[in-house]
Amino acid sequence: MNSNDLKIIEDSIRVIPDFPKPGIMFKDITTMLNNKEAFALLIFHLVKRYKEYNLDYIAGIDARGFIFGAALASHLNLGFVPIRKKGKLPYTTVSEKYALEYGYDEVEVHIDAFKKGDNSKANVLLIDDLLATGGTASAATTLISRVGANCVEACFIMELTFLNGSKKIDTPIYSIIKE
């Protein structure tokens, strides 16, 4: 991605101070989503990057990963798989817990989400909007592996590098914006 395109994407993301609590500078991607130029540049960049990856599926993390993942899957003519918060999927699932600052949360995926006709492992790209502490992404990559697929990379629109979330994830990581 060239620096001009990256600037257009970065400038389209609104910063909201003190949300959800004092001291947090929240990065609001909704302003990028409704900016047709910025969103198109982002998806075009991701299509260009991943078109030769031999992917079978795109998996998106609940909920903002669904937006980027579904758009990318459509452009690459691939299936999209949602990785959801516990209790949201209707069929048999596998779940994985991850630690929060105060307690735990859990994500899940359908047990048959990543099927290939030739019985080989499906190649999956995981995508989400933000890599912060890495708990959710780590749980998602574990789920992908547990249901018999190969997570080839985890992609994030933004990464907060000072939180060291990438150290929790056992797969290559690609982040478009690093702070």
Distance in Å from the first CA to the final CA of the chain:
17
pLDDT (0 to 100) of residue 94:
97
pLDDT at 113: 96
Residue 141, domain CATH: 3.40.50.2020
The answer to whether residue 24 is domain-embedded is no
The pLDDT confidence band at residue 174, using thresholds 50, 70 and 90, is: very high
- The pLDDT value given to residue 103: 82
155 assigned to some structural domain:
yes
Mean pLDDT of 146-160: 97
Strands of the sheet containing 57-61, edge to edge, are 93-100, 103-110, 79-85, 57-61, 123-131, 150-159, 173-178
Task: For residue 40, tell me if it sits in a domain.
Answer: no
Q: Look over the chain and give the mean of its residue pLDDT values, rounded to a whole number.
A: 95
Dist. CA 171–CA 99, nearest whole Å: 19
* Residue 119: pLDDT over 80: no
- Tell me the percentage of the chain whose pLDDT exceeds 90: 90
Range of the domain at 102: 52-178
The reply to whether 34 falls in a domain is: no
Does residue 128 form part of some domain? yes
Q: Is residue 116 part of a domain?
A: yes
For residue 73, what pLDDT is reported?
A: 98
Give me the mean pLDDT over the 79-95 stretch: 97
Residues serving a catalytic function are 64, 101
Is 42 among the domain residues?
A: no
Q: Cα–Cα distances in Å, from 20 out to 23, 25, 144, 160?
A: 9, 9, 30, 16
Q: What is the pTM of this model?
A: 0.95
Q: Please say if the pLDDT value at position 143 is more than 90.
A: yes
Say how far residue 123 (Cα) sits from the centre of its chain: 15
Kindly report the number of other CB atoms within 10 A of residue 174's CB atom: 15
CA 44 – CA 166 distance, rounded (Å): 24
Q: How many domains does the chain have?
A: 1
| Domain contains 11 | no
Helix or strand run (H / E) with residue 130: strand 123-131
